[in-house]
Structure 1
Amino acid sequence: MTDTPGLVELEAGALHAAIAPAVGGSLASLRARLPDGRWLDWLRPAVPRGLADRHPLAMASFPLLPFCGPMRHGRASFEGREIRFPPNHPAEDSPHPLHGIGWQQAWQVADAQRQAARLVLTVPATAAWPWRFSAVQRYQLSEQQLRVSIAVTNEDEAAMPAGIGHHPCFPHIAGTRLRTAAAGMWTTDHEALPVDVEVNEAVRRLREGALLADLHLDNGFTGWEREALVEWAGDEEGPPRSLLIEAAPPLDFFMLHSPRGYDHFCLAPVSQCGDALNLAPRWGADAIGGTRLEPGATLEAHFTLTPRWR
């Protein structure tokens, strides 16, 4: 993927990251060069077809803003303004739009250096999202880790609801394990939308360290301790290895997409649960997350990906 047209390439020691500004400002890959010259992928890498088609779901990770997860039928209201968001799933005929606006927009490169890049986005108010806002992403690569920062600023004259996050996808090979601690899991209805919180077997198994092949989940988790560890056994791709995911507030929630039989899974650090605006009247801010942004105010957060191999 090195030197692919349209990508911003970052390098630091053995680590290499590629960013696709035109494809939602997404991360296209995070990899390390092994001593024998092979590449070891820490995220599911974008392939040339996905980049050519500008398909965000084919990227290694993409930004979520100004809301995270699905919104039931694209309908919600906030302080007198109505949201009428159209379906936006690029691969399914779903009436429930998801992940906001940023992942399906081309971002502008404001600054790019060997180990860091800053991308910006400006979005006008529309019937889909009736507030003007701007956003910034910063990718910073060191020899030890990749730091991803995201910020949203309300450019409107009225307060705006806001949620932010990122959606990294990781390789799922035989024996892949995930350990992370949360207070509860959002259970879903027949349309895969959150309805209730449970402390169930999935929560307990993830806290102890779960074999991903034993899980079949597409759920949000609340009360996250903002840390997760992915462990892979040695295979033909490389040695035994792990990846530490650490998030800063307000990324107090995560979404886990781990369908059985897939070659990847996704763990998205987010600042709110799915369908947050519609769940707010029943559950309140502590349970669902999200932020009320005054005009001119900014919501920002970051997370890091730290690879370890031997």
Structure 2
Amino acid sequence: MQTLPLAAGELRADIAPAAGGSIAGFWRAWQDGPAQRRTDWLRPASAQGLAQRDPLAMGSFPLVPFCNRIRNGRASFEGREIRFPPNHPTVASPHPLHGIGWQRPWTVAAAGERMIELTLEVEASPAWPWRFSAWQRFELSEQALVTRFGLANRDTAAMPAGIGHHPYFPHTPGTRLTSATAAMWVGDAEVMPTVLQESDAVRRLRAGVELAELDLDNNFVGWRRQALIEWPVDAQGGGRSLVLQAEAPLDYFVVYCPRGADHFCAEPVSQCTDWLNLLDAHGPGPLGGHRLAPGQSVEARFTLTPRWA
């Protein structure tokens, strides 16, 4: 599958429009004496993942028109019924996840050495009974990768919406994550939220924690829109770090850190799992989400800024 390259100084990125508009890689290409070295800031896409156009094998992919899961794919919004089928390619779950955009090819609207812009048009269907469009703009400088993205309601009725991105980061021994939030949605056995509380994970992430100590797939609220990832000296290079910084409305945070995995996810999102079905009980504050009138849009930005000695 063709990827589109970005280059600025020692930083590189590859964009995969056909694999759900994903970031296939983000890394530093550097010279270590006579050797050419590579340090990955996002988990690099595998050759098999690229061949299969599999977003779950990429470095990050967009979440539109909703983030995370909807219980059993069923929800109602202002007289329209959502009947979203299961969409995980490998796991038998009744709860569809991550929206629509990650499983569609995106169109290249513009491409240069340091900027790529993609667009997506989606017609209404029984799964999501609203027509919408989406866009992404990737901008690479010598200091950071900036991703701007948005969603617009092209239908004749108001539409519920959520947006976000799903970055996968390398998890090597000693990797640490620091991020301040107010509370965490505790989930059931199917990773669906049930109770909001200031858990031990909230306190540990706030102080900074070695990821090997965690086993999470949870939504966090009251996020300060910043996370620090730190890697120790290893085969990829010296001690280094990366700052993930988001802007409103990416006010919610998902941490997916399965024990023993070589990757973890730290996701900036604008709404929590199953927000439409939980709104009546909890209100928008702990859940987020948007109501887009016809023609209205929502957009956001997040930045990945690596640091190395």
| TM-score when normalising by structure 1 | 0.98
Listed one character per residue, the Cα deviations across residues 38-68 of structure 1 (whole Å, up to 9, x for unaligned) are 0110000001110111111001000001000
Give the partner amino acid of 1:15: L
1:181 maps to 180
- For structure 1, the residue ranges without an aligned partner over 5 or more in a row are none
User: 2-side partners of 1:58 and 1:281: how far apart?
Assistant: 36
Give the partner amino acid of 2:63: L
1:14 maps to 10
Give the partner amino acid of 2:21: G
2:220 maps to 221
User: 2-side partners of 1:300 and 1:8: how far apart?
Assistant: 23
2:50 maps to 51
1:104 maps to 103
Give the partner amino acid of 1:270: V
What secondary structure is seen at the aligned counterpart in 2 of 1:122? strand
User: 1-side partners of 2:190 and 2:231: how far apart?
Assistant: 32
2:30 maps to 34
Cα deviation, residue 200, structure 1: 1.2
Give the partner amino acid of 1:43: L
Superposed, 1:57-72 pairs within 5 Å as 57-72=56-71
What secondary structure is seen at the aligned counterpart in 1 of 2:286? helix
User: 1-side partners of 2:232 and 2:190: how far apart?
Assistant: 35
Give the partner amino acid of 2:301: H
User: 2-side partners of 1:182 and 1:163: how far apart?
Assistant: 19
Superposed, 1:123-134 pairs within 5 Å as 123-134=122-133
Cα deviation, residue 181, structure 1: 0.3
Cα deviation, residue 195, structure 1: 1.2
Listed one character per residue, the Cα deviations across residues 114-133 of structure 1 (whole Å, up to 9, x for unaligned) are 00000000000000000000
What secondary structure is seen at the aligned counterpart in 1 of 2:142? coil
Cα deviation, residue 35, structure 1: 2.4
1:24 maps to 20
User: 2-side partners of 1:41 and 1:33: how far apart?
Assistant: 9
User: 2-side partners of 1:31 and 1:144: how far apart?
Assistant: 12
| TM-score when normalising by structure 2 | 0.98
- For structure 2, the residue ranges without an aligned partner over 5 or more in a row are none
User: 2-side partners of 1:189 and 1:119: how far apart?
Assistant: 36
Give the partner amino acid of 2:284: A
* Percent identity of paired positions between Structure 1 and Structure 2: 58
User: 1-side partners of 2:28 and 2:17: how far apart?
Assistant: 21
User: 1-side partners of 2:41 and 2:90: how far apart?
Assistant: 24
Cα deviation, residue 196, structure 1: 1.4
Superposed, 1:1-310 pairs within 5 Å as 6-36=2-32, 37-310=36-309
Give the partner amino acid of 1:200: S
